[in-house]
Amino acid sequence: MNKIGLFHVNLDLDYLKKIILEKEKDIINNYPPCGHDGVLTDGETGLGLESLTSRYFHFNVLEWEGVETLRSEIKRCYDTFTSTSQDIYVQCWANVMRDGEKINSHCHNHRSDLNIISGNLVIQSNEMSTYYEGKGIRNQEGVLTLFPGSVYHWTDTYRGKKERITVAFDVRTYKDWSEDVWDDAKYHWVKLPNK
């Protein structure tokens, strides 16, 4: 199995939960599901074309007000996970699941020549599991998981009265960002510079 990294982060989860739920309806109402060549997608998650996840191309959580600490925590965890320190480019979106929903098996990178790192930060959950190539990891609020973008991952069916809220993201080096991201999409990847 590919390397999986778990990191406890110091973030205001209540603020992130509040801002995601506030923006969810506006994003869904103002942007269509993502698509390419006329094919609409929810990122192969199974959450459907009415989900916030299906709008991942239209927003970047790291551009929102009050998320500076999230930016720095993603950079810190990435540097530790990869044992490097360099400029990185991040596309970051939010997922909101409700009772009875689940995320189907999918990966973020189908190309073996790219070194994309993907991540997931649990903001609110009921201790359900996320599976990485079949290995279940219990969701814990305030834990950020990093893994190679080629790793297939999915969740249990969510059961709970409150929403399950996560932030997901992909990280690319400058080389992979400049060569593989469509030109019309580059503007909404956020650069996290090496300090």
What distance in Å separates the CA atoms of residue 112 and residue 104, rounded to the nearest whole number? 21
Compute CA distances 66 → 118, 122, 171, whole Å: 22, 18, 20
Q: In this structure, what CATH number is given to the domain that contains residue 53?
A: 2.60.120.620
Q: 36 Cβ partners below 8 Å, 6+ apart? A: none
Quickly count: other Cβ atoms within 10 Å of residue 195's Cβ: 8
Q: 123 Cβ partners below 8 Å, 6+ apart? A: 13, 16, 17, 20, 141, 165, 166, 167
User: Is the Cβ–Cβ distance between 90 and 62 less than 8 Å?
Assistant: yes
Run means of pLDDT, 10 residues per run, the chain, 195 residues: 89 98 97 86 94 94 97 97 94 97 93 85 94 95 96 95 97 91 87 90
pLDDT at 136 (0 to 100):
95
User: Is the Cβ–Cβ distance between 142 and 76 less than 8 Å?
Assistant: no
pLDDT at 180 (0 to 100):
86
User: Is the Cβ–Cβ distance between 124 and 163 less than 8 Å?
Assistant: yes
Number of domains in the chain: 1
User: Is the Cβ–Cβ distance between 118 and 174 less than 8 Å?
Assistant: no
The range of the structural domain enclosing residue 81 comes to 5-192
